[in-house]
Amino acid sequence: MSDQGKGSVSASAAAPAPGSDTYKGWLFKWTNYLKGYQRRWFVLSNGLLSYYRTQAEMAHTCRGTINLATAHIDTEDACNIVLSSGGRTYHLKASTEVERQRWVTALELAKAKAIHDSGDEEPTSQSDRSEIQGTLKILVSKLDDLSTCNDLIAKHGAALQRSLSELEGLKVPVEGGEKIKAVNERATLFRITSNAMINACRDFLDLAETHSRRWQRALQYEREQRTHLEETIEQLAKQHNSLERAWREAPTLVSSTPRSERPLKEEASDEDEDTEYFDAMEDSPAFITVTTTENTQHRLMSPSCNDVSGKELQPRRQRRTHIPDKPNYSLNLWSIMKNCIGKELSKIPMPVNFNEPLSMLQRLTEDLEYHELLDKAARCDSSLEQMCLVAAFSVSSYSTTVHRTAKPFNPLLGETYELDRLEEFGYRSLCEQVSHHPPAAAHHVISQRGWTLWQEITIASKFRGKYLSIMPLGAIHLQFHSSGNHYVWRKVTSTVHNIIVGKLWIDQSGDIEIVNHRTKETCQLKFSPYSYFSRDVPRKVTGVVADSGGQAHYILSGTWDDKMESAKIIQSSRGGSGSEGKQKTVYQTLSPKLLWKKYPLPENAENMYYFSALALTLNEPEEEVGLTDSRLRPDQRLMEEGRWDEANSEKQRLEEKQRAVRRRREAEASDALDEGREYEGYQPLWFHQRRDSVTGETNFVYKGGYWEAKERQDWSMCPDIF
């Protein structure tokens, strides 16, 4: 296993000097190619090397143990340690070569001591018999010494008694005679006691000889039982971790959603690989979570969010599941982009070769792919649990972007897009391009299942030569009808890398703050930028849900391209300082629960612009839509059909038509100014500007009328933009 595959790590161990009975400290343990090295707390004691995810876990959960008596210790490079025992191998890494050497020394000493102790505890039958016979000889020798002492005591005692008897025969006062008689009686008692002691010692020796073999057999049995118990406990620990993983995957299996593919080559790990060390968020302390075993069955959320499927109504019409395959046309991007460095992306003339056959309005509508999260949130009694689902929804909107590096069509001014899923999923969505420079789109969604969402998004983008930054500006509003909870958040920055050389890939980075303006509860989400040298999971997202007083109640974790989980906090405490000197908060949580899981891509998605199942239906022709709907845009339709040359010609025609309209408006504004008249300028058809009472910002909000016009099929007010 090469270090290139594992990445670069650093750690420091806090441990006593090698040679003591116990050695503890942090090391990085290799898990798999997806997650690389993970920081673990290792404890070396009594010839066993055990590890835990945190120091707090030492009280209840050991993640794995290696017996050093049978282990092979090897060093790969300056900081690596490899431990092998039977079929198990630990690849470990220390922060420095000095720290690595300390661990190696401690491990070697512990191994030598374990081997020595093992030899002492389990002697061969011959050495065992010799040891017992030697012990018995010593006991016999000591017993002989006692017999000799007894003989001497008896001899001197008899002499003492004769002397006392002679004294009794002398004529002495009565008082003196009584004292001599008492001394004589005590000497007799002393001799009897000495004889009893000798007899007891002899009986002990007889018993030791008789039962020595029985004791030996019992001791051997206990050793075997101890070894078997150690193996059983180790196996139970593995099964416990497997059950934890199966528990977390249970909702995925129920919904028939396959997990993301694992690397083909991956070393088996006997621990739960969920990462528990979260990055520090801006202006808030870093934190560590410690999971507590929970006896309740794994489920998506608590009973306060009544679990009624968001897709219980089957679609009344069969929607398409594929589009024509993307043609294999090649074009030199650098020949177009080299003169555009530093310009707004919306001002760069781009051929359709770099587009996907969807407009920006349709991409904005894709945020609703996981609308069932909002349906479920609307049924929540707890605003904190509702916040968790809203946070998962905000993250889910990025899941479709992981492979979608192509550019959507810039909407024409006045272009609209509707998505009417009222009969199928209970909601209606309308987007309109309300400004062209800067490009801005207004979006409004209303659901019969208890929520309304609206937003105005302005796209600021810059081409930097090696990468393209896309910065959505504007707030997203979400209000639940029954509770009145009003949530507001903003999107993070998207970055497209390898514009010039290499394979294009996209990343999301930044922070999202979601605020419930009714309860003042907040959620801080952090999208960690990808780094080749990072130990973190790629596309990692972490978050904390807090009440109005700032007290944390839930930890959120996952990735923006796969899934999000929540874990309820049951206890928090201040921990030690992190690597950057910031004090960490240790959160003890219940087992994480799945909030959201990405749907698998349709078959042949790689040849269909990596569109999701929803994206494949967005440009499907529909009857009775508005005359400005993106489905009717001819250049986009030609591109979807694979007629790219015609699409490029049509795109140039539409853009020139839009420029001509803009020049006419500018001329009208100039004439009005010369004549002293007011000129209203362009006004969107379905949205108007209003000051938001929550944020204080002026935004375009839906003024109504579109769905009524659709019902009447009266589109006479629509401009001719195509």
**Which two structure tokens, joined as six digits, stand for 178?**
């009584």
Domain boundary among 606, 621, 636: 621
Of 19, 24, 113, 124, which Cα lies nearest the Cα of 69? Answer: 113
Q: Is residue 637 included in any domain, yes or no?
A: no
How high is the pLDDT of residue 311? Answer: 44
579 and 467 in one domain? yes
166 and 38 in one domain? no
Residues 6+ apart with CB under 8 A from 228: none
Q: Is residue 450 included in any domain, yes or no?
A: yes
Q: Is residue 217 included in any domain, yes or no?
A: yes
Q: Is residue 267 included in any domain, yes or no?
A: no
What CATH number should be reported for the domain holding residue 176?
1.10.287
477 and 341 in one domain? yes
Q: Is residue 86 included in any domain, yes or no?
A: yes
- If phi > 0 it is left, if psi is from -120 to 50 it is alpha, else beta; for residue 471 that is beta
489 and 407 in one domain? yes
Q: Identify the domain containing residue 496 by its residue range.
A: 322-621
The 8-class DSSP code of residue 399 comes to G
What is the number of domains present in the chain? 3
553 and 421 in one domain? yes
Of 11, 175, 195, which Cα lies nearest the Cα of 93? Answer: 11
How high is the pLDDT of residue 183? Answer: 78
**Contact call for residues 569 and 587 (beta carbons, < 8 A):** yes
What CATH number should be reported for the domain holding residue 411?
2.40.160.120
Domain boundary among 198, 218, 240: 240
Q: Which residue has the tokens 């190696």?
A: 104
Of 711, 650, 625, 712, which Cα lies nearest the Cα of 417? Answer: 625
517 and 375 in one domain? yes
Q: Count Cβ atoms below 10 Å from residue 397 Cβ, excluding itself.
A: 19
Of 640, 596, 163, which Cα lies nearest the Cα of 362? Answer: 640
Distance CA 444, CA 453 (A): 6
In DSSP notation, 315-372 reads PSSPPP---PPPP-----HHHHHTT-TTSBGGGS---GGGEEEEEHHHHHHGGGGGTH
Question: What residues of the chain score a pLDDT lower than 70?
Answer: 1-21, 86, 117-131, 168, 171-175, 213, 230-231, 234-235, 237-242, 244-304, 306-316, 330-349, 465, 500-501, 575-583
Helix or strand (DSSP H, E) at 717: none
Q: Is residue 414 included in any domain, yes or no?
A: yes
Distance CA 525, CA 568 (A): 16
338 and 216 in one domain? no
What CATH number should be reported for the domain holding residue 87?
2.30.29.30
149 and 103 in one domain? no
Q: Which residue has the tokens 């024509």?
A: 324
140 and 88 in one domain? no
Domain boundary among 202, 221, 240: 240
352 and 485 in one domain? yes
191 and 225 in one domain? yes
List phi, psi (to 5°) of 612.
-80, 175
Q: Is residue 662 included in any domain, yes or no?
A: no
100 and 174 in one domain? no
Q: Is residue 576 included in any domain, yes or no?
A: yes
